[in-house]
A = this chain, B = another copy of it.
């Protein structure tokens, strides 16, 4: 495969710090760097915005593939960063990634001292991501962090293909729970509420594709894509879901009609 050859060439002789979440993109980058580069350290910043199981999963995977892995606990919810984010919720990705970048830079500098060689920081941003609204990408650029998949124009689908080709099972995608909170403040309680609501909804409706539960001032907004929205279109299901969501702590439960 052409793209795989390019990746091999990209990492040749490189020492890399990988911003590693345990998702398929950063897993591929980590594996490529480990196989074809000189040394690879996978760094996961635990910012408190992902379900706990995510961190556990990332550790499991790095063990399975023999990856040197460091988890840095920078739980924003428990420090002053969350104040900055809550003051400017629209910019949360940018703010968050800047703090994460600083952690990665620190790790790079340590590695640089150890090897006395150039060390590159890379992340899992793929080519498709460039065409979405991802304000975090810019923050990483400012810190000189590179995105091999995007640079080599490797798309989401190709990431899957390469992982399959390598015999690596594709990890389930998890996205940042902070994106579910539509008005400040982001709090641990609210993140847990949307997480519980999504868990329930997925199993209750048997959802397989994209769906989200967001919190707007205590109102739970359910988004389900058009291929699966029929699964919720039933008044008795409305009632069951509303009841459960109230138990979880929402004061109102609504189904998003646009974006379908």
Q: Which candidate, A2-10, A135-143, A173-181, A239-247, is the interface stretch facing chain B?
A: A239-247
Residue among B217, B238, B258, B260 making CB contact with A257, cutoff 8 Å? B238
Cβ–Cβ contact B242 & A258, under 8 A: yes
Q: How large is the interface on A (under 10, 10 to 19, 20 to 34, 35 or more residues)?
A: 20 to 34
- A12 interface residue per 8 A CB criterion: no
In the assembled complex, which residues on chain B have CB atoms less than 8 Å from the CB atom of A229?
A: 235
Query: How many chain copies?
Result: 2
- A57 interface residue per 8 A CB criterion: no
Please, how many angstroms separate the alpha-carbon atoms of A216 and B215 in the complex?
A: 12
Please, how many angstroms separate the alpha-carbon atoms of A48 and B121 in the complex?
A: 60
Q: Mark A228-242, 1 if CB is under 8 A from B, else 0.
A: 011001010011011
Cβ–Cβ contact B217 & A183, under 8 A: yes
Cβ–Cβ contact A256 & B258, under 8 A: no
In the assembled complex, which residues on chain B have CB atoms less than 8 Å from the CB atom of A235?
A: 226, 229-230, 260
Please, how many angstroms separate the alpha-carbon atoms of A64 and B219 in the complex?
A: 46
- A130 interface residue per 8 A CB criterion: no
- A254 interface residue per 8 A CB criterion: yes
Please, how many angstroms separate the alpha-carbon atoms of A252 and B238 in the complex?
A: 20
Please, how many angstroms separate the alpha-carbon atoms of A256 and B235 in the complex?
A: 11
- A253 interface residue per 8 A CB criterion: yes
In A60-81, the 8 Å CB interface with B consists of none
Please, how many angstroms separate the alpha-carbon atoms of A219 and B214 in the complex?
A: 13
- A159 interface residue per 8 A CB criterion: no
Please, how many angstroms separate the alpha-carbon atoms of A113 and B239 in the complex?
A: 58
In the assembled complex, which residues on chain B have CB atoms less than 8 Å from the CB atom of A258?
A: 238-239, 242-243, 245-246, 252-253
- A15 interface residue per 8 A CB criterion: no
Please, how many angstroms separate the alpha-carbon atoms of A221 and B222 in the complex?
A: 12
In the assembled complex, which residues on chain B have CB atoms less than 8 Å from the CB atom of A226?
A: 235
Instruction: Please name 23 pairs of A and B residues whose Cβ atoms are closer than 8 Å in the assembled complex, sorted by A.
Output: A216-B217, A217-B217, A219-B219, A221-B252, A221-B254, A229-B235, A235-B260, A238-B258, A238-B260, A239-B257, A239-B258, A241-B257, A242-B257, A242-B258, A242-B260, A245-B258, A252-B258, A253-B256, A253-B257, A253-B258, A254-B256, A255-B255, A255-B257
Interface positions of A (Cβ within 8 A of B): 183, 216-217, 219, 221-222, 226, 229-230, 233, 235, 238-239, 241-243, 245-246, 252-258, 260
Extra A-B contacts (11), CB below 8 Å, given A238-B260, A254-B257: A216-B216, A216-B217, A216-B219, A217-B217, A226-B235, A229-B235, A241-B257, A253-B256, A253-B257, A253-B258, A254-B256
